[in-house]
Amino acid sequence: MRKKIIKYSIIGLTIIFIAIQFIPVDRHNPPITGEITAPSEVKNILQRSCYDCHSNQTDWHFYSYIAPVSWLVTNDVNEGREELNFSEWNKYDSKKQNKKINEIYEEIAEGKMPMKIYLITHPSADLTKNEKQVIKDWTDKKDIAYK
Ligand code: HEC
């Protein structure tokens, strides 16, 4: 009896797993309308650590093609782009750009960004103390420039 339940559960889950693969997932990279300008040192850090979720240049990894992980990944990318999109930087007025720049270092300093779950699969996106300082210096300067 128990063996049968296990067997049917495995068959059932396998069918569900296969079926959910057919649910469409939107994984597209919209066009870049206006890229943020920053010194290359800063830009490299942002590209390595933030661009997968905060730009239109997402590198869609293989697991982003496998449901249900794909749902989580696309959800983070959509939400991330909505909050902050370095590829559509021109769509923010200078006041909003200033606010976003302030938030960038805040999020990094508090250890909220890049997202912890993302670092499991992208350990190289983790920022060193030195890199955090580079971002701090840049955001501090920007702040003065806009005020
Ligand atoms: C795995 C995807 C992912 C990565 C990588 C990522 N973010 Fe985010 N980010 C999000 C999501 C999702 C949100 C919106 C939800 C939230 O605030 O947690 C967000 C929100 C933000 C916000 C807005 C916060 C607010 O409360 O208004 C800032 C600023 C930000 N991220 C900066 C960064 C920076 C800087 C990096 C790189 C060092 C980065 N993020 C890397 C997914 C990501």
pLDDT, tens digit, 9 for 90 and up, residues 86-120: 999 999 999 999 999 999 999 999 999 999 999 99
Determine if ligand 1 sits within 6 Å of the CB of residue 115: yes
56, 81 in Cβ contact below 8 A? yes
Q: What is the mean pLDDT of the chain?
A: 94
Measure the CA–CA gap between 116 and 124, rounded to whole angstroms.
Answer: 12
User: What are the b/e assignments for 86-96, b being 16+ CB within 10 Å?
Assistant: bbbbeebeeee
Structure tokens at 67: 């449901």
Determine if ligand 1 sits within 6 Å of the CB of residue 50: yes
Q: Is the pLDDT of residue 7 over 90?
A: yes
pLDDT, tens digit, 9 for 90 and up, residues 45-61: 999 999 999 999 999 99
CA 12 to chain CA mean position, Å? 33
Residue to mutate (ligand 1; options 83, 89, 102; most atoms within 8 A of CB):
83
Structure tokens at 78: 């959509």
The alpha carbon torsion through 57, 139, 141, 46 (nearest 10 deg) reads -30
Distance (Å) of CA 146 to CA 68, 92, 103, 104, 109 = 43, 13, 14, 15, 21
pLDDT, tens digit, 9 for 90 and up, residues 69-95: 999 999 999 999 999 999 999 999 999
Distance (Å) of CA 42 to CA 34, 78, 93, 138 = 17, 23, 21, 7
Nearest ligand 1 atom to the CA of 100 is 29
